[in-house]
């Protein structure tokens, strides 16, 4: 697991859309809320610069964060994040408190390895297609992985890696698979090279057709 990310927050009492706009524009603050557990929700504000730096780290979106509020640290995960559609800057964050003895559902990134050495690509000229870049898992906070590794080395052309093929750490389950086998969707596929099947068919010569004249001779004549 990556090093823990700590964010410093202050409790805000001035709430509402107007107050949030003032925080963002005049103070370069990001409004937020933290909820869950046995505590009441708290309206927060965080440094825009600190959030900008943290958001460039992959673990920011999927790992447990330490939210420092007036000297007290509360472990939490991001449940919702809103961005400005024009600038892409984060405008609001929802944090959910976590407890060590309660399972959490979190989206974690998929890391694909051995793509260049993949059998279906290297030997058959296939093309890799990625259907998912992250997967929702369920586990206790202590078992939360930083990412799930997907080994593409032995995937042949025309084959796929499904959710059920993922190698998961102990104590981790894929949420989708708990709803039935029909949720076992492909994570990544190797598409066969276009024209490969046609080329294979061309290698098989069609049987020679009988000459009508020869057939007539075989059926008998005078003499």
Domain tally, the chain = 2
pTM of the model: 0.79
Residue with the bigger pLDDT between 101 and 197: it is 101
Checking if the pLDDT of 23 tops 50, the result is yes
Structural domain of 143:
104-200
- Cβ-based neighbour number of residue 54 at 10 Å: 18
A 10 A CB-CB count for 133 gives: 12
Write down the pLDDT at residue 199: 47
Confidence category of residue 163, pLDDT binned at 50, 70, 90: very high
What whole-number percentage of the chain has pLDDT above 90?
72
Q: Do residue 110 and residue 189 come from a single domain?
A: yes
pLDDT for the residue numbered 216:
46
Kindly report, residue by residue over 97-144, the tens digit of the pLDDT: 999 999 999 999 999 999 999 999 999 999 999 999 999 999 999 999
Q: Of the candidates 31, 62, 97, which is a domain's last residue?
A: 97
Residue 216 belongs to a domain: no
**pLDDT given at position 209:** 52
How much is the pLDDT for 77? 97
pLDDT band at 219 (very low <50, low <70, confident <90, very high): very low
Q: Do 74 and 27 belong to one domain? A: yes
Query: Is 207 a member of any domain?
Result: no
Average pLDDT over every residue of 182-202: 76
How far apart CA 103 and CA 126 sit, in angstroms, is 40
Go through the chain and tell me how many residues it has.
223
Q: What is the mean pLDDT of residues 37-47?
A: 93
* Contact by Cβ (8 Å): 122, 116: yes
Q: What six digits make up the tokens of 105?
A: 């559902």
The per-residue pLDDT of the chain, averaged, comes to: 87
144 in any annotated domain: yes
Confidence tier at 196 by pLDDT (50, 70, 90): low
* 43 pLDDT more than 50: yes
Q: Which is more confident, 192 or 112?
A: 112
Look at residue 194 in the predicted model and tell me its pLDDT: 74
DSSP calls for 163-178: GGG----TT-EEGGGG
What sign results for the dihedral spanned by CA atoms 172, 174, 177, 182? negative
Give the end of a domain, one of 97, 123, 149: 97
pLDDT at 109: 97
Domain end residue (candidates: 52, 79, 97): 97
């Amino acid at each position: 697991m990556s090093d823990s990310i700590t964010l410093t927050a202050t409790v805000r009492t001035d709430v509402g859309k107007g107050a949030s706009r003032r925080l963002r524009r005049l103070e370069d603050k990001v409004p937020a809320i933290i909820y869950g557990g046995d505590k009441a929700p708290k309206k927060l504000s965080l440094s825009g610069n600190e959030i900008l730096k943290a958001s460039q780290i992959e673990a920011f979106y999927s790992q447990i964060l330490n939210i420092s509020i007036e000297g007290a640290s509360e472990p939490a995960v991001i449940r919702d994040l809103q961005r400005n559609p024009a600038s892409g800057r984060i405008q609001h964050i929802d944090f959910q408190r976590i407890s060590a003895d309660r399972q959490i559902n979190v989206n974690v990134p998929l890391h694909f390895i051995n793509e260049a050495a993949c059998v279906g690509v290297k030997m058959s000229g296939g093309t890799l297609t990625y259907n998912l870049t992250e997967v929702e898992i369920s586990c206790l906070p202590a078992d939360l992985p930083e990412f799930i590794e997907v080994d593409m080395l032995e995937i042949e052309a025309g084959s796929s890696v499904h959710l059920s093929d993922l190698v998961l750490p102990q104590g981790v389950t894929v949420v989708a698979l708990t709803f039935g086998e029909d949720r076992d969707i492909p994570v990544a596929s190797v598409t066969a090279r276009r024209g490969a099947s046609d080329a294979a068919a061309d290698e098989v010569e069609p049987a020679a057709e009988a000459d009508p004249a020869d057939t007539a001779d075989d059926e008998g004549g005078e003499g």
